Amino acid sequence: MPLVSIIVVVYNDLRELQAVLDSIFSFADSNVEVIVIDGGSSDGSAALLRSLSSRLAYWVSEPDKGIYDAMNKGVAAATGTYVLHVNAGDRLLKLPLQQLREADQAGVDVAAFRVSLDGKRIFVPRTGWSLSLNNTWHHQGTFYRRTILPAYDTAYRTFADFDLNQRLLRAKVRVRLYSDVVARHSTDGASHSRGSAEVYRIVRKNFGPLRPIGTWLDFKWRALKNRLQPS
């Protein structure tokens, strides 16, 4: 059984697919399996995946019901101890295999690492109360123990990863935070441009009708801090 399953989901983004796979292959060895779920692209992605099939544990190119449906397919195909999602637009910068081996031996269910955002600032993971307000485990920096990972709720189109993280928090899984930067993430994606109402629905569902007030206040506080920071 590999230590890590790295899942890539993509749709009609051939150039980015090649780039993100190159970043992953530079770290891949017998401890790692690479899984690609393509949503039935018409830009040559399937041909690329076919040419790389000897380096992929699993790949498929077929229509899906959105990014989280594709992620669920990837998790279902995975066999690794831990699962990591690195998608088109992202780059894998480091694969912390030794820390993950130690985490596995210690019974850690979620190993959350830092992520570079556009190469300009660093996302630092937090847990506990802060995760009940906003998404403090970055998807491209979080390794989930596969056997405890629930399915993404595809009713959420943009923030199903946040919902999944909150459900794991409520389940009291064992979490460990790390200071290593393992990936670079582009903030051009959908979760950075829309869906704030969905965030409040998720918080309300997982933590009750009053917690969204805390989420709103937290958003306002972070926006104020960003404005006050020197450019």
Report the phi/psi class of residue 176: left, alpha or beta, with left for phi > 0 and alpha for psi in -120 to 50: beta
Provide the whole-model pTM: 0.93
* Structural contact between residues 7 and 37, judged by C-beta atoms closer than 8 angstroms: yes
Give the pLDDT score at 224.
81
Extents of the domains making up the chain: 4-193
- So what's the pLDDT on residue 230? 64
Non-local (6+) Cβ contacts of 97 within 8 A are 3, 4, 31
**Residues 65-78 pLDDT 10s:** 999 999 999 999 99
- Tell me if 203 sits within 8 A of 211, measured CB to CB: yes
Hey, how many other C-beta atoms are within 10 angstroms of the C-beta on 208?
Answer: 10
Q: What is the pLDDT of residue 188?
A: 72
How many whole angstroms separate alpha carbon 59 and alpha carbon 74? 9
The predicted pLDDT at position 189 comes to 55
Task: Quote the tokens at residue 77.
Answer: 């195909």
Per-residue pLDDT of the chain (231 residues; tens, 9 = 90+): 899 999 999 999 999 999 999 999 999 899 999 999 999 999 999 999 999 999 999 999 999 999 999 999 999 999 999 999 999 889 999 999 999 999 999 999 999 999 999 999 999 999 999 999 999 999 999 999 999 999 999 999 999 999 999 999 999 999 999 999 999 998 875 544 445 899 999 999 999 999 999 999 988 887 787 777 665
Strand partners, 112: 142, 177
Alpha-carbon span 157 to 191, nearest angstrom:
9
**Strand 175-185, strand 58-61: pairing:** unpaired
- Pairing between β-strand 91-92 and β-strand 175-185 as defined by DSSP bridges: antiparallel
Rg (CA), the chain: 17
Level-2 CATH architecture, domain 4-193: Alpha-Beta Complex (3.90)
Amino acid 152: pLDDT: 98
What is the predicted pLDDT for the residue at 88? 87
Q: Which two tokens stand for residue 2?
A: 């590999």
d(CA 121, CA 157): 26
Predicted pLDDT at 196: 83
